[in-house]
A = this chain, B = another copy of it.
Amino acid sequence: MTDFIRTKRTELHRLSNRGAYDREAIYSILDEGLVCHVGIVFEGAPFVIPTGYGRSGDQLFIHGSSASRTLRTLSEGADACITVTLIDGLVLARSVFHHSMNYRSVLVLSKGTLIDEPEAKIEALRLITERLVPGRWDDVRHPTPQEMQATSVIAFSINEGSAKIRIGPPKDDEADYALQIWAGVLPLLFTTGAPIPDERNLDGVTLPSYIRDYKR
Given A14-B68, A193-B189, CB of A90 within 8 Å of CB of B48: no
Nearest to A176 among chain B residues (CB) is: B141
Given A45-B9, A96-B125, A151-B97, CB of A132 within 8 Å of CB of B39: no
Nearest to A68 among chain B residues (CB) is: B14
Cα(A101)–Cα(B93), bound, Å: 35
The digit string for A175-192, where 1 denotes a CB below 8 A from any CB of B, is 011111111111111111
Point out which of A34, A142, A199 has the most chain B C-beta atoms below 10 A from its C-beta.
Answer: A34
Give chain B residues whose Cβ lies under 8 Å from the Cβ of A97: 141, 143-144, 147, 151
From 189 to 208 in chain A, residues with beta carbon under 8 angstroms from any chain B beta carbon are 189-202, 204-208
The digit string for A139-180, where 1 denotes a CB below 8 A from any CB of B, is 111111001000100000000000000000110100011111
- Is A87 in the interface zone, CB < 8 Å from B? yes
Instruction: Check B193–A190 contact: CB distance below 8 A.
Output: no
Nearest to A202 among chain B residues (CB) is: B180
**SS of A interface (majority):** mixed
Give chain B residues whose Cβ lies under 8 Å from the Cβ of A195: 184-187
Give chain B residues whose Cβ lies under 8 Å from the Cβ of A69: 13-14
Cα(A184)–Cα(B105), bound, Å: 30
Give chain B residues whose Cβ lies under 8 Å from the Cβ of A20: none
Residues of A that sit less than 8 Å from B by CB: 9, 13-14, 34-35, 37-50, 52, 65, 67-69, 79-83, 85, 87, 89-90, 92-97, 99, 101, 103, 105, 107, 109, 125, 129, 132-133, 136-137, 139-144, 147, 151, 169-170, 172, 176-202, 204-208, 211, 214, 216
- CB-defined A-B contacts under 8 Å, sample of 12: A14-B65, A34-B101, A94-B141, A95-B141, A95-B143, A96-B147, A179-B202, A182-B207, A185-B198, A187-B193, A187-B194, A188-B192
